[in-house]
Amino acid sequence: MSRRGRFITLEGGEGVGKSTNLSLVADHLEARGLEVVRTREPGGTPRAEAMRRLLLDPFGEEPLDPDAELLLIFAARAQHLARVIRPALERGAWVVCDRFTDATYAYQGGGRGIDRARIAELETFVQQGLEPDLTLLLDMPMAGSQQRLEGRLDREGGRRDRFEGERAEFFEAVRRAYLAQAASAPERMTVVDAAVGLEEVQAQLRRLLDRKLAEWT
C-alpha cells in the first residue's frame, strides 16, 4: 500500500476524555487544510459497528469467552482497515481514530490476561505492518476517570456497558498495560496528563500536534 496520509490514535481508559479530545485533534488538523477522517474502534463501518454491539452489550448473563472477544475485536479491525482506514490513508487523508490496537494490548492483554504473543500474531495478520504514526495516550488515575464516566452517564441517562461494568482491578491492569505500551514505543506514543482541566489538556495536545506537524513537513 502506498500511504500518503497520517494515522493518529487516541487511547486511554474509560472516561479519560478521548471522544472529547478527538474533536480537538481533528479540528486542529482541518484548520491546516488537511482532509481528516474521524473514526473509532471497535467500529467505524456499519458491519464493524454491529460487531461493537456484540462486544459491548452484556447480552444477559452469557459470558463472552476472552478468545472470542479478542477475535471479534480483530474481525472488526480488519473490516475497518479494509473499508475506511487504508482507503483514506491511500488517498492522502489523515485518520484520527478513538482507540486501536494499543487498546487490545491494554484490555485483552492487561485486563483479560491474554498472552501478548497471541495478540501480536493477530496484529501482524490483520494489519500487515500498518500502525499509527502517532498515539496520544490520555492518562489519569482511575478514580478520577470513573467519576467523569459516572457524570457523563448521569447526564445522558446511559447504563454501563460490558467493559465499563468491570471491577476496579481490571481498570488498574488496563492502565498499567497502557503505560507499559507507551514505555515500549516512545517514538510513536506520547503520554498526556488527562487529570487536569480540559483547557490544559487541550493546550498539551495542540503543542504536541504542532511539534509533530513541523517534524513531518
Ligand X SMILES: Nc1ncnc2c1ncn2[C@@H]1O[C@H](COP(=O)(O)OP(=O)(O)OP(=O)(O)O)[C@@H](O)[C@H]1O
Binding site for ATP, by residue number, is 12-19
Q: What is the distance between the alpha carbons of residues 20 and 201, in angstroms, rounded to a whole number? A: 11
Find the shortest distance in angstroms from Cβ 34 to ligand LXEULUCI.
24
In the complex with ligand X, the residue whose CB is nearer, 16 or 89, is: 16
For residue 5, the partner it binds in ligand LXEULUCI, ligand X, none, with Cβ less than 5 to 8 A by kind, is none
Task: Count CB neighbours of 188 within 10 A.
Answer: 15
Find the shortest distance in angstroms from Cβ 215 to ligand LXEULUCI.
27
Q: What is the distance between the alpha carbons of residues 56 and 161, in angstroms, rounded to a whole number? A: 5
**Binding of ligand LXEULUCI at residue 14 (CB under 6 A)?**
yes
Closest residue by Cα to residue 177 from 99, 116, 100, 97: 116
Residues in region 132-191 near ligand LXEULUCI by CB under 6 A = 163
Residues in region 65-104 near ligand LXEULUCI by CB under 6 A = 73, 98-99, 103-104
- Residue sitting closest to ligand X (CB): 17
**Binding of ligand LXEULUCI at residue 194 (CB under 6 A)?**
no
**Binding of ligand LXEULUCI at residue 201 (CB under 6 A)?**
no
In the complex with ligand X, the residue whose CB is nearer, 94 or 107, is: 107
**Binding site: what residues are annotated?**
12-19
Task: Give backbone dihedrals phi and psi of 41, rounded to 5 degrees, phi first.
Answer: -130, 150
Task: Count CB neighbours of 197 within 10 A.
Answer: 8
User: Given CA atoms 50, 109, 150, 61 in this order, what sign does their dihedral have?
Assistant: positive
Task: Give backbone dihedrals phi and psi of 5, rounded to 5 degrees, phi first.
Answer: -80, 175
In the complex with ligand LXEULUCI, the residue whose CB is nearer, 103 or 201, is: 103
Q: Which three cell numbers stand for residue 192?
A: 498526556
In the complex with ligand LXEULUCI, the residue whose CB is nearer, 14 or 139, is: 14
Identify whether the C-beta of residue 96 lies closer than 8 Å to the C-beta of residue 37: yes
Identify whether the C-beta of residue 166 lies closer than 8 Å to the C-beta of residue 111: yes
Interacting residues with ligand LXEULUCI (CB under 6 A): 14, 41-42, 73, 98-99, 103-104, 107-108, 163
